[in-house]
Amino acid sequence: MENLVQPLLILGTNTFAVEVADLVSEIPGFRVTAFVENMQIERCQETLEDLPILWVDKLAELSHSHLVVCGLTTTFRSRFTEQAATYGIKFATLIHPSARVSSKSSLGEGSIVSAGVIISSHTHLGRHVILNRGALVGHHTEIGDYTSIQPGANVAGLCHIGDATHIGMGAVVIDRITIGSHSIVGAGAVVTRDVPDNVQVVGVPARIVKENIKGK
């Protein structure tokens, strides 16, 4: 019996959307059929990676045959996913074959687990989380909706990461740390103490350099 392949649409037309398409090409059971635009309708006259670019309202007629995933690395991707959901379309959760996800952990809808990622046991990812190349997440850790953990970042066990937070490339978060929602951890930072909501931290050890921010 021939294996069924699920048609998949990628929300977004920027470079990360292209990277997601490449990732999908190595995940059995999915095939990207188009990208979706919601800001510049003129982009729909073009192609991307030899695939069509569709205007967002096309999701309504494709909702019974396709799944979607968001190809925006910004934590503000909530705007696009919430818009897409109004058309009744469902979200895929993508796990690259080279990733290792504990069977005792769980992933929310729309999340992307890229190549080389390791997720330890009893960990939970919220909806539309991005774990980029080689990210590591320890045991009994909670990661909120729309959070992005960039390549090579290492989040230890028993941590709690809020919603729409950005953990930069190569950052380290030691065990039992809480990082608030809508915060930014700079690339290469080492977080050794709790981080409140809506701040940016950088350095070793990480320190607050900006307040009253909202994601990235």
Q: Is the Cβ–Cβ distance between 71 and 65 less than 8 Å?
A: no
Give CA separation, 132 vs 7, 57, 67, 151, in Å: 23, 29, 21, 5
Residue 124 annotated to the active site = no
Rounded Cα distance, 143 and 212, in Å: 21
Count of other CB atoms within 10 angstroms of residue 5: 10
Count of other CB atoms within 10 angstroms of residue 1: 3
Rounded Cα distance, 67 and 110, in Å: 10
Phi/psi zone of residue 19: left (φ > 0), alpha (ψ -120 to 50 degrees), beta?
A: alpha
Query: Which of 122, 124, 139, 160 is the catalytic position?
Result: 139
Rounded Cα distance, 34 and 14, in Å: 13
Burial letters for 20-56: b for 16+ Cβ neighbours within 10 Å, e otherwise? bbebbeebeebebbbbbbbeeeebbeeebeeeebbeb
Give CA separation, 13 vs 70, 73, 190, in Å: 10, 11, 33
Q: Catalytic residues, which ones?
A: 139
